[in-house]
Amino acid sequence: MGQYIYAVAATGEERTLGLGGIAEEGGQVSIICHRDIGAVVSPSPVTEYAVNRKNTMAHQTVMEQVMAETPILPVKFGTVGDGAEAIRTKLLAERYDELKAKLAYVADKVELGLKVLWTDPSQAYREIVEENRQIQRLRDRLNTQKGGARKEQIRLGELVAGALARKREALDTRIGSFFDGLWVEQKKNPPLGDRMITHSVFLVARDKERAFDEAVHRLDESTEGRMKIKYVGPVPPNHFIELVVRW
């Protein structure tokens, strides 16, 4: 029997946590330690875990529970160690200095996620047409010609796509200005679909978290309902630190 590894935590106290683990066979989540750091683990067969909602939620839930008590370093999903002693030796002892430095870095920080989407995607297209005379003229010509030539239809699509990309970029810059000086690190993910304007994650110092919350509120008010805000956190810093363990 192996041990599934969720995270490395800033604690030297070995204990069980009263949480069920990811494995179907059950088993309690516990912490095994070397000096003043510990691995958050639960019994598991040495197997590959499917990346599905059930498994990823189990992994995330354990990390969030531990993060409420102490700083953690997320371990890559699906990592299974050979056993407690191997984890203590190969992970905690051999990488002690690295892990301590990373724990010190995240000790006073949290991850916050922000997605901003157009409430009504058709509104974005209407605004693009209103703001772009070239698109207006080509659209009107195609309407007059009852569809027009295939080449002109393609050209209209290209113009709209380009205008949408520029509008999204300008809005992304404006959105980002609400959070100037409030984050330590930022990572941007590509927008998913035409509705999404921005999808960013931020590593934020805990003493700036309230100010960040207030900035999200100001952003939401400024959109006057034209945009939908999805704000998540605090969560473990998965996008900024993910330990890979090789045996």
pLDDT tens by residue, 225-245: 889 999 999 999 999 999 998
Classified as helix, coil or strand, 115 is: strand
Average pLDDT of the chain?
90
Q: Where are the beta strands (DSSP E) in the chain?
A: 2-9, 15-20, 28-34, 37-44, 72-74, 80-81, 109-118, 185-188, 196-205, 227-235
Q: What is the CA radius of gyration of the chain?
A: 24
Residue with the two structure tokens 């000790």: 107
What is the CATH classification number for the domain harbouring 204? 3.30.70
Q: What angle do CA 104, 106, 108 make, to 5 degrees?
A: 90
Residue with the two structure tokens 């919350």: 213
Q: What are the backbone dihedrals phi and psi of residue 116, each rounded to the nearest 5 degrees, phi first?
A: -125, 125
Please indicate, yes or no, if residue 69 is contained in any of the structural domains.
yes
Same structural domain, 70 and 118 = no
Same structural domain, 50 and 72 = yes
Long-range Cβ pairs for the range 91-94 (8 Å, 24+): 91/5, 91/8, 91/39, 91/245, 92/8, 92/32, 92/33, 92/34, 92/35, 92/37, 92/38, 92/39, 93/34
Same structural domain, 133 and 205 = yes
Same structural domain, 8 and 73 = yes
Residue 232 is predicted with a pLDDT of 94
Domain tally for the chain? 2
**What's the maximum distance between 2 C-alpha atoms anywhere in the chain?**
78
Band (65; pLDDT cuts 50, 70, 90):
very high
pLDDT digits (tens, 9 = 90+) for 152-171: 777 777 777 777 888 888 99
CB 40 within 8 A of CB 72: yes
When pLDDT is averaged across residues 51-76 and rounded to a whole number, the result is 95
The two counts, helices (H) then strands (E), for the chain are 7, 10
Same structural domain, 100 and 126 = no
Same structural domain, 138 and 99 = no
Same structural domain, 68 and 151 = no
Q: Per-residue DSSP letters for 154-169?
A: HHHHHHHHHHHHHHHH
Classified as helix, coil or strand, 113 is: strand
Please indicate, yes or no, if residue 95 is contained in any of the structural domains.
yes
Same structural domain, 153 and 62 = no
> Is residue 182 predicted with pLDDT exceeding 60?
yes
Gap between the Cα atoms of 149 and 142, Å rounded: 8
Give residue 147's identity as a one-letter amino acid code. Answer: G
Q: How far is the CA of 55 from the CAs of 23, 31, 43, 50, 52, in angstroms?
A: 9, 20, 15, 7, 6
Please indicate, yes or no, if residue 240 is contained in any of the structural domains.
no
Beta bridge partners of residue 199, listed in sequence order: 115
Domain endpoint, select from 107, 134, 149: 107
Percentage above 70 pLDDT, the chain = 96
Structure tokens at 34: 């070397």
Domain that holds residue 135: 110-235
Q: Count CB neighbours of 237 within 10 A.
A: 24
